[in-house]
Amino acid sequence: MGRKDRDKFISGKSKQNAVKTMVVTDEDGRVLFCSPTKPGSCADITHARQLGLVKLLADGPAVEILADAGYQGLGARTGGRVVTPPHRKFKKNAPGWYEEMYERQRKAHSSRRIRVEHGIAHLKNWRAWARHLGRREHMSDTVQAVAGLLSHQQITDLTSAQQV
């Protein structure tokens, strides 16, 4: 409770003790990459920058990453490779036409991104993630191990389905 640097692990949204990791999946929700954990107070976009994702996407192959609102602003820095939900331009008194357009764009993005969310949910279903009772310093190893196991399971399921 009163440990040094404990406030680094308090998330900004829910004010709870938390760690964050960044997960990349393919279009079918299969896990491709899972980053080491960072303290819960670290913003999503900062985590992506620290991992070198911005430079990799800007200089690398033309791929499309469907991201959540925590990554808004990366699209401009990566040549449009990171697609985020639309940014709300009007905070108050938005015209009716704008609300309709905004909702249509938001729904289209979430419909495309649903498989990504399902891939992340598969990781969160593992008990080691849902109820981690060990030290925070070891959480990153647990995350990497679960991601590796899940990725192997998904590839095994895919190859066995193709053989049938």
pLDDT at 36: 86
pLDDT at 108: 94
On whether residue 50 sits in a domain, the answer given is no
Q: Which two tokens stand for residue 114?
A: 């649903």
User: Domains in the chain: how many in total?
Assistant: 1
On whether residue 69 sits in a domain, the answer given is no
On whether residue 116 sits in a domain, the answer given is yes
pLDDT exceeds 60 at position 2? no
On whether residue 138 sits in a domain, the answer given is yes
Max mean pLDDT range (58-67, 98-107, 133-142) = 98-107
Read off the pTM.
0.69
On whether residue 108 sits in a domain, the answer given is yes
Domain residues for 111?
6-42+85-163
pLDDT at 104: 93
pLDDT greater at residue 139 or residue 4: 139
Task: Kindly state the average pLDDT of the residues 98-115.
Answer: 91
> What one-character DSSP code corresponds to residue 66?
E
On whether residue 48 sits in a domain, the answer given is no
Q: Are 37 and 19 in contact (CB under 8 A)?
A: yes
d(C-alpha 23, C-alpha 9), whole Å? 19
On whether residue 65 sits in a domain, the answer given is no
Task: Kindly state the average pLDDT of the residues 59-69.
Answer: 86
Task: Kindly state the average pLDDT of the residues 42-58.
Answer: 86
Exposure string for 21-57, b = 16+ CB within 10 A, e = fewer: bbbbbeeebbbeebbebbbbebebbebbeeeebbeeb
Write phi, then psi, for 37 (nearest 5 degrees). -75, 155
On whether residue 56 sits in a domain, the answer given is no
